[in-house]
Chains A and B, each alone.
Chain A
Amino acid sequence: MLPDHAKLLALLQDAGEVVGRKKWQKIVYISKKLQLPLQEKYTYHMYGPYSEELSMRTEELCSLGFVTEIKEAKAGYYQYRYQLTEEGDTFLQNMQLDWPRREAKKITSRLNEYSAKFLELVSTVLYFDELPKEDVKEKVHKLKKSQNYSDEDMEEAWQLIDSLK
């Protein structure tokens, strides 16, 4: 248990504040695909790669008081805002984690600048990264019809991935 929880705290600390559960899900997935040592298991869902393990672990961190979750009402849905608490910071220090701080900071601060919708695209592209580019495009168009991603959006996603590798 504990080291995996601590890694999420470290990632959140590097990201600063994360607004939105979907964004948090995608940031963790993309960071994992970019070789940060995260363990959460992902499977593909309606909105791209999703980890139930991450959802539970985040809830656990909130219930332990290591992360704050602020719920905000939006039109038709709720949005959640996550931040590390002082206790979370103390716990992280106690754990003496072997964490690639510099790379993590570079990845998370950059990802945090983008919208959840764009990160959904980036994570979906990464999910199919064993396929040739043209097949990935086809997959995205088929699976993400309602999101209307353009070819330019996909090129931007690949550029972002390349710049973070």
Chain B
Amino acid sequence: MKEGNRKLQEEKVFKDPVHRYIHIRDELIWDLIGTREFQRLRRIRQLGTTFLTFHGAEHTRFNHSMGVYEIMRRIIEVFDGRPHWQQEERLLCLSAALLHDIGHGPYSHSFEKVFQTDHEWWTRKIITEDTEVNQVLRRMGDNFPQDVADVIEKTHPNKLVVSMISSQIDADRMDYLQRDAYYTGVSYGHFDMERILRVMRPTEDQAVIKNTGMHAVEDYIMSRYQMYWQVYFHPVTRSAEVILSKILQRVKKLREDGHTFFQQPYHFQRFFEGTQTLEDYLCLDESVITYYFQMWQFEDDSILQDLCERFLNRRLFKFVEFSQNFLLNKWTRLQELFREAGVDPDYYLVIDSSSDLPYDFYRPGEEEERMPIHLLMPNGRLRELSRESDLVEAISGKKRTDHKLYYPKEWLESPGHKETKQEIKSMLFSGNEQVEPEQEA
């Protein structure tokens, strides 16, 4: 039976370094925050391995989810009473904003690649199956959890609601850009969110921006562009991510080969078998993963030992950039040389591309590929942002991809296999396209 939502007797207010205050007025939201599935997000960092590059980046999915909720709450205040906005969707929007990342696991990007799973699937399960989150949501009606899951998955028929949480200018992005900038300490990522919120308008299909707010949106797009190159695509973070993936890959391989572990990977067992339950997933967090990495430093496998030691003590791989010529003429030989020198290239010679990262640049209206940002013009028509803004058009056409080859530099400098290492070095460092750039943050 539908129990509904009650207003809290007194508003709850959280202090937040990005938005100053986060206001909770609904019992539904307050109770969702108190569920064990939501509290688990306190143990999962928002930016995964970025803390190894920017030491302040210790903030969690919990902080971010609270921030997205707060931005959504403020968007709704702006929309209230305007055409196309239905106030009865308020709690649906707030719940979806709060729960949009509930399915994220520890170091989810690498974990998902190795174990072929995805956080969107877990999000749906946490919301629609037998969990504390589901129990709280059901107070609003039996279909409410499904509706929340549909909004997050972008398959809900109310496209306006979907766009408020998932579009190219949404509550999620506006929070993470500012929050990640704050915690990493970089000077990029700042834009005038107050202004954007004031000029945001609901339409039938999406939230749009009044054309008078174009410059604030330009600033947002610019921040996004800079954050991607300076923080999200940072080569040192990518090196840590490469090592993390290789640890998981190695454990998976050892298990397939029947290796007897000193520290059995109990928490991963069902993931190896593909029989994992929701409870198995909820038991994983970053402290669990770190515990295993600590223990596997003493495992009877030199590769696993070494990779764990590298990750924990930040002895990361160095990198070079490469081009087509390298891939066509040197790549195969380089792998052979690593093998000749007794080093497995599957773990110690790794190509990482921008497409391996979970971030996206602004894409203007490219033939119905993705919904672009639309400006609401004085005549009531909509215009795609890059058609009005030279600045956005210029950024949209910029190079958005890169490739890096990661390798253990100190091994190359160590004694043994002198001639082979010399040939490896000449392949890595020769040629105009291959340089060794600075690596420090």
Which residues of A are at the interface with B, using a C-beta cutoff of 8 A?
1-2, 5, 20-22, 25, 41, 43-47, 50, 52-53, 55-57, 59-60, 63-66, 74, 77-80, 87, 90-91, 94, 116, 120, 128, 139, 142-143
Cβ-defined contact, B367 with A94, below 8 A: no
Cβ of B1 to closest chain A Cβ, rounded Å: 25
Q: Which residues of B contact A25 (CB under 8 A)?
A: 369
Further 15 A-B residue pairs, CB within 8 A, beyond A47-B368, A60-B403 = A1-B352, A2-B331, A2-B351, A22-B367, A45-B370, A46-B368, A56-B354, A56-B400, A59-B400, A77-B366, A77-B367, A80-B366, A80-B367, A91-B328, A143-B155
- 15 residue pairs of the A-B complex, CB under 8 angstroms, read A1-B351, A20-B367, A22-B367, A25-B369, A41-B118, A59-B400, A60-B353, A64-B323, A64-B327, A74-B367, A77-B367, A78-B367, A79-B367, A80-B366, A94-B332
The one of A2, A46, A79, A91 that contacts B370, using a Cβ cutoff of 8 Å: A46
User: Is B371 an interface residue, CB under 8 A from the partner?
Assistant: yes
**How many residues of chain B are within 8 Å of chain A by beta carbon?**
32
Cβ-defined contact, A45 with B371, below 8 A: yes
Cβ of A45 to closest chain B Cβ, rounded Å: 6
A-B contact count (CB 8 A): 94
User: Is B9 an interface residue, CB under 8 A from the partner?
Assistant: no
Cβ-defined contact, A1 with B370, below 8 A: no
Cβ of B365 to closest chain A Cβ, rounded Å: 6
User: Is B153 an interface residue, CB under 8 A from the partner?
Assistant: yes
The one of B369, B401, B403 that contacts A50, using a Cβ cutoff of 8 Å: B369
Cβ-defined contact, A53 with B327, below 8 A: no
| A5 vs B368: C-alpha distance when bound (angstroms) | 24
Within 8 A of A (CB), among B198-223: none
Cβ of B162 to closest chain A Cβ, rounded Å: 8
Q: Assess A60 versus B367: contact at CB under 8 Å? Given A1-B403, A44-B153.
A: no
| A80 vs B367: C-alpha distance when bound (angstroms) | 9
Cβ-defined contact, B328 with A87, below 8 A: yes
Cβ-defined contact, B353 with A66, below 8 A: no
The stretch from B54-62, B355-363, B408-416 touching chain A is: B355-363
Cβ-defined contact, A59 with B159, below 8 A: no
The one of A52, A77, A142 that contacts B360, using a Cβ cutoff of 8 Å: A52
Within 8 A of A (CB), among B109-159: 118, 120, 153-155, 157, 159
Q: Which residues of B contact A63 (CB under 8 A)?
A: 399, 401
Which residues of B are at the interface with A, using a C-beta cutoff of 8 A?
118, 120, 153-155, 157, 159, 323-324, 327-328, 331-332, 351-356, 360, 363, 365-371, 399-401, 403
Cβ of B369 to closest chain A Cβ, rounded Å: 5
Cβ-defined contact, B366 with A66, below 8 A: no
Return the chain A residue nearest B363 by Cβ.
Answer: A55
Cβ-defined contact, A47 with B355, below 8 A: no
Cβ-defined contact, B328 with A21, below 8 A: no
| A46 vs B159: C-alpha distance when bound (angstroms) | 8
Q: Which residues of A contact B369 (CB under 8 A)?
A: 21-22, 25, 47, 50, 55
Cβ-defined contact, A90 with B355, below 8 A: no
Q: Which residues of A contact B363 (CB under 8 A)?
A: 55
Most chain A CB atoms below 10 A, which of B120, B155, B369: B369
